């Protein structure tokens, strides 16, 4: 059985009289250790889907089976445990804790992990060796994004979910971060899902799930994903 199986997933937002169907009849599966890109334009439903997969949000219909367990059957407590234990989440808008330094943000996240990586080492890997003792407000957007990535990676989660992780990064730093995320799948066996609107990133993934108008448009498999060193985007 695949590591992730999504079947007939629906997620709706109710706004007064209106109902917005953000995810509609979504179906796909993902194998353990894959690097997956969810590709789609703004409003396609990417963040909604990532939040559902990470147990950040509930859904209305369908099945989301992860490692043999259907998230639909979780109560709030079980969903929280799942999120803490298995998930590393890189938020699109970072969500760092303002009164903790970069290092402390990462240290706090790994306190609840079973096999954390060394926070200082991971911050070095994302190029922040010299900035670890700075607070988020003292860091640029790109630096804050890298702290958010370090925080998720250092947990060594089974499932690493990244919402537009290179959005605020310059080209070279973006490639470094993509390399780090690919290494998490290739070397550490984590399943990594990257949400992006940038189609140029698609060749590096094992599997690309194309979202359009709240549903899956197509799924493509790259038998030989492109080496990030040779990627141009």
Ligand X SMILES: Nc1ncnc2c1ncn2[C@@H]1O[C@H](COP(=O)(O)OP(=O)(O)O)[C@@H](O)[C@H]1O
Q: Helices 102-110 and 141-154 sit at what angle, rounded to 10 degrees?
A: 20
Q: Shortest Cβ distance from residue 25 to ligand X (Å)? A: 15
Of 182, 133, 132, which Cα lies nearest the Cα of 153? 182
Of the ranges 45-53, 78-86, 96-104, 127-135, which one interacts with ligand X (CB under 6 A)? 45-53
User: In this complex, which beta carbon is closest to ligand X, that of residue 20 or of residue 200?
Assistant: 20
Tell me which of ligand X, Mg ion, none is bound by residue 54, counting a contact when its beta carbon lies within the kind-specific cut-off of 5 to 8 angstroms: none
Task: Check the CA dihedral 142-146-152-153 and report its sign.
Answer: positive
Does residue number 166 form part of the binding site for Mg ion (CB under 5 A)?
Answer: no
Q: Shortest Cβ distance from residue 61 to ligand X (Å)? A: 16
Residues 6+ apart with CB under 8 A from 52: 9, 11, 23, 58, 59, 64, 71
Query: Are 132 and 101 within 8 A, CB to CB?
Result: yes
Q: Shortest Cβ distance from residue 149 to ligand X (Å)? A: 18
User: In this complex, which beta carbon is closest to ligand X, that of residue 9 or of residue 117?
Assistant: 9
Task: Write the interaction track for ligand X spanning residues 83-112; mark x where CB under 6 A is met and - where it is not.
Answer: ------------------------------
Query: Are 207 and 30 within 8 A, CB to CB?
Result: yes
Tell me which of Mg ion, ligand X, none is bound by residue 15, counting a contact when its beta carbon lies within the kind-specific cut-off of 5 to 8 angstroms: ligand X
CA distance linking residue 43 with residue 23, whole number of Å: 10
Contact pick of 6, 48, 109, 155 for ligand X (by CB under 6 A): 48
Does residue number 47 form part of the binding site for Mg ion (CB under 5 A)?
Answer: yes
Contact pick of 33, 43, 167, 199 for ligand X (by CB under 6 A): 43
Residues 6+ apart with CB under 8 A from 55: 71, 74, 79, 80, 82, 83, 87
Within 89-118, the residues that bind Mg ion by CB under 5 A are none
Tell me which of ligand X, Mg ion, none is bound by residue 73, counting a contact when its beta carbon lies within the kind-specific cut-off of 5 to 8 angstroms: none
Q: Shortest Cβ distance from residue 11 to ligand X (Å)? A: 8
Residues contacting Mg ion: total by CB under 5 A: 1
User: In this complex, which beta carbon is closest to ligand X, that of residue 20 or of residue 221?
Assistant: 20
| Residue 147 token pair | 């702290």
CA distance linking residue 192 with residue 187, whole number of Å: 12
Does residue number 15 form part of the binding site for ligand X (CB under 6 A)?
Answer: yes
Token pair 């298995």: residue: 86
95: Cα separation from own chain's centroid? 14
Binding residues vs Mg ion (CB under 5 A): 47
Binding residues vs ligand X (CB under 6 A): 13, 15, 20, 22, 40, 42-48
């Amino acid at each position: 059985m695949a590591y992730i199986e999504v079947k007939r997933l629906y997620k709706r937002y109710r706004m007064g009289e209106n109902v917005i169907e953000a995810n509609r009849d979504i179906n796909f599966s993902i194998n353990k250790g894959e690097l997956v890109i969810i590709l789609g334009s703004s409003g396609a439903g990417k963040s909604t889907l990532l939040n559902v997969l990470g147990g950040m949000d509930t859904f209305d219909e369908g099945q989301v089976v992860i490692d043999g367990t259907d998230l639909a059957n979780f109560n709030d407590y079980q969903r929280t445990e799942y999120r803490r234990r298995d998930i590393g989440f890189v938020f699109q808008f970072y969500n760092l804790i303002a009164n903790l330094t970069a290092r402390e943000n990462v240290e706090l996240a790994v306190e609840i992990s079973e096999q954390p990586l060394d926070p200082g080492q991971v911050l070095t890997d994302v190029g922040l060796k010299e900035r670890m003792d700075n607070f988020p407000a003292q860091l640029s957007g790109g630096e804050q994004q890298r702290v958010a990535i370090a925080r998720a990676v250092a947990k060594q989660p089974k499932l690493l979910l990244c919402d537009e992780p290179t959005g605020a990064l310059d080209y070279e730093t973006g490639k470094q971060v993509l390399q780090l995320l690919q290494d998490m799948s290739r070397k550490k066996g984590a399943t990594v899902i990257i949400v992006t609107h940038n189609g140029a990133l698609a060749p590096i993934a094992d599997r690309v799930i194309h979202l359009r108008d709240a549903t899956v448009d197509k799924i493509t498999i790259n038998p030989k994903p492109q080496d990030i060193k040779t990627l141009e985007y």
